[in-house]
Amino acid sequence: MKKLNFYLFLLLFIFVLLFTSLSPVKAASVNTFQVTTDGSQQKDAFVYKDLIAYDSLSDIWGYNRETHENYPIIQRDGQQYITDLYNSLIVYQEIPPDSGNGDIRLFNIKTGQDSLIIGEPNSYSSGGTNGEYVIYLDGGACGSLYALHMRRNKTEHIVDNVCSPKISDNVVYWGEGAPGGSDIRGYDLRRNKFLDIAVEDGFQESANIFGNTVVWYQYDSGNYGTYQAIVTKNLKTGKRKVIYETNTNSLQSPSISNRYVVWSESPSMHVNSIKAADLKTGDVFELQESGPHQNSHTMTSIWKDTAAWMSWRTGNGDIYASQIIR
């Protein structure tokens, strides 16, 4: 009797296992909505939990996804531009009214504390944070990369002549020119070690890291009608995977969360769409269909299942967002 019960249990287990593996995966549904509608230009959206933070003219505003309220976060004379959002911390570049140089500042949304990280006489850009460090460039779009340990108030020079740095956990990463293309390299702040993140033929750009996975945009020339791809790589195992590729459209600006990758896609000049891929299933789907855009591409941001971007659908530049539902 015990043996019979065992075999019955085993058969039931096998049936459940087969049913689960053969059952179709539920396709993603998308709730896309417009975040800003006030008639002025907004751009550079960042998402964290229920907050979507963005630039509005030359101030920094936020949108609460629970209350559907838009409100000012940093609003004063001069120009303020958000460059990163981590937990309750906003890193931004400020150009004071009496100066043409950019300062790097850190604003704590919870406490209201607003701190100067680095200021004149030089101009600084590309600020980012992991909550422990603030990174920045001494220069414009490209320059010398520094990291400030906030608790120790100690600044470390990392490398010169890099572009568009970002930080995730303990890894700082950036784009770097290479013979016949560009690479993505990094630096581990805890181990004091330089990293070759994406060093391949052609161009590797616009990297974004979540956990142990990096995503980037890869291309040969970047022109319409040439090969372009969105690629991921596991930083621990080195396993590389092409998420999406095209020989017709133009791609840019991928971002990654624990489950999804989103990117900007352009089928032709001044036309833009936003696409996403499920890292678990491999499914590729649209968040915003192709439509008119002042430029062909826009920056994307994603946190878990919520993505945000700027789109030119109304003619002035508004923030849109999508919640991906499984």
Statement: residue 120 has pLDDT above 60: yes
4-49 pLDDT tens trace: 454 555 555 554 444 444 444 467 899 999 999 998 999 999 999 9
Distance CA 204, CA 175 (A): 8
How high is the pLDDT of residue 18? 45
Write down the pTM of the prediction: 0.90
Of the pLDDT bands very low, low, confident and very high (cuts 50, 70, 90), residue 294 is: confident
Distance CA 108, CA 300 (A): 23
Q: How far is CA 130 from CA 95, 105, 198, 249, in A?
A: 23, 14, 21, 34
Contacts of 136 (CB under 8 A, 6+ apart): 104, 117, 118, 124, 125, 126, 127, 128, 145, 146, 148
Q: By 3-state DSSP, what share of the chain in percent is helix, strand and coil, each rounded to 5?
A: 5, 60, 35
Least Cα distance to 109 among 86, 80, 89 occurs for 89
What is the average pLDDT across 94-101? 91
Task: Tell me the pLDDT of the chain averaged across its residues.
Answer: 92
203-239 pLDDT tens trace: 999 999 999 999 999 999 999 999 999 999 999 999 9
63-95 pLDDT tens trace: 999 999 999 999 999 999 999 999 999 999 999
Of the pLDDT bands very low, low, confident and very high (cuts 50, 70, 90), residue 1 is: low
What is the average pLDDT across 274-302? 95
In the CATH hierarchy, which fold is given to the domain comprising 76-201?
Neuraminidase (2.120.10)
Domain ranges of the chain: 26-71+220-326, 76-201
How high is the pLDDT of residue 26? 60
Least Cα distance to 137 among 147, 152, 151, 150 occurs for 147
